[in-house]
Amino acid sequence: MTDVRVWVNGRLTAVDEPAIAALDHGVTVGDGAFETAKVDRGQVFAATRHARRLDRTLAGLGLPPADHDLIAGGTKAVLEAGEPIEFGRLRYSVTGGAGPLGSDRDDSPLTYIVTAGPQPRPPASAKVAVTPWTRNERSAVAGLKTTSYAENVVALAYAKERGAIEAVFANTRGELCECTGSNIFVVVEGIIRTPPLDSGCLAGITREVTIEWCREDGLEVREEALPLEVLQQADEVFITSSTKDVLPIHAVDDRELRVGPVTRRAADVFARLCVERLDP
């Protein structure tokens, strides 16, 4: 925690310094949006796409668009507050601001929080665990990156107890959906397949870029509804996220998998192009 840099509403603060109002709607009811972007060798990857998605989430919550100049100032402040971050994450949040104790909103200004800190690079491969819970693809906040993350906290703890790096959700239709903070892909008959956005999954930035770059490199990628059981039949599985890039999966629950050629190629394509194209 001591390595994390924090900026709130225009100023740098210590990580343990009170900086958010007790009645901030992000605290009382989880009313807010956030983005997590990769920081690699001091630079933020895909900053423009993250900014656009933030506004999509805010619109979905009924909040006004973000002040991106303010966020840019906060980003600059945290990135320059110490030595360049070799690898880590930038996270910025926008909440509904101070509000009543219930779910109603008033006309308070939005709260802006920007944080950044180092973390280890992802492993060569990892295990995932399927949770007993589901994503609701018909939820009012389906596909939005909101600060209401308790469901993910519980699911990720479940996965970690089983030696997994991520937890996998089905949706209420029994279809493969997503992980707590990652999108999921399977390879069946040499074709990369991933749940469509109407499954209720988040429109991940790394997911989006991976699909584009794999297709550009000649790989076939299909966004299609998939039964959860595909995880027991797929030849290969990988997940994507801002700080995991394209991460091969070597086990789903007790099923062991090889890291196959399609996954390796997708990971190689992403690793190469994200160096060449900082803001795709």
Measured CA to CA, the distance from residue 125 to residue 249 in angstroms comes to 5
Measured CA to CA, the distance from residue 161 to residue 197 in angstroms comes to 29
- Looking at every residue in the chain, the average pLDDT score rounds to 96
Span 27-45, average pLDDT: 97
Strand partners, 111: 95
Q: What pTM does this model have?
A: 0.95
Write the DSSP string, 36-58: EEEEETTEESSHHHHHHHHHHHH
Span 123-143, average pLDDT: 97
Residue 51: per-residue pLDDT: 98
CB 216 within 8 A of CB 235: no
Span 4-18, average pLDDT: 95
Residue 1 has pLDDT above 60, yes or no: no
* Whole-number Cα distances in Å, 186 to 30, 135, 181, 278: 32, 19, 17, 26
Measured CA to CA, the distance from residue 244 to residue 21 in angstroms comes to 33
Residue 33: per-residue pLDDT: 98
